Amino acid sequence: MSRLHIEYVAMAWKALAVWAGILVLAVFNGVLREDVLIPRLGRRGGIVLSGGLLTALIVIVAYLSLPWIGARRPDELAAVGIGWLVLTLVFEFSFGLWHGKSWQGMFAAYTLKGGNIWPVVLMVTVLAPYIAAKLRGWT
């Protein structure tokens, strides 16, 4: 195995570990949304604030973890972001199916109805490594 190949494999494992941390934050955010935000702000307000909070958390985690992950070039940043997006989608649909949700019900989350900004969260997820690199002055 070449040195470059080993570096890319290490980068992928680190990006996976960071995504797992983002997943934990997303679960806590969901609990906060359901138990605190929606009861206090109503459904629409709770969903919007929760989505905004999650997007901010994703960018913050990307900013803090990017030096450790080691992605600096545009293709590496894109690979990390696309990887995080794919992992998120696989998790969401697998979790939904496991809990007996219909495809129609799951796809409803991908609209902007009722204050839902899940599509924006996904867009931020894929762009977060690039945004973080930009904030760091790397690009």
Q: Residue 72: name the closest of 9, 126, 11, 5 by CA.
A: 11
Q: What is the CA radius of gyration of the chain?
A: 16
Averaged pLDDT for residues 61-84: 97
pLDDT at 80 over 90: yes
The pLDDT, as a whole number, for residue 16 is 98
The pLDDT-based confidence of 74 (bands split at 50, 70, 90) is: very high
| pLDDT tens-digit readout, 109-128 | 898 888 889 999 999 999 99
Averaged pLDDT for residues 86-97: 96
Burial call 48-84: b when 16+ CB within 10 Å, e when fewer: bbbbebbbebbbebbbebbeebebeeeebbebbbebb
Tally of residues, the chain: 139
pLDDT at 14 over 90: yes
pTM of the model: 0.94
pLDDT at 136 over 90: yes
The pLDDT, as a whole number, for residue 5 is 83
| Rounded distance between C-alpha atoms, residue 83 and residue 33, angstroms | 26
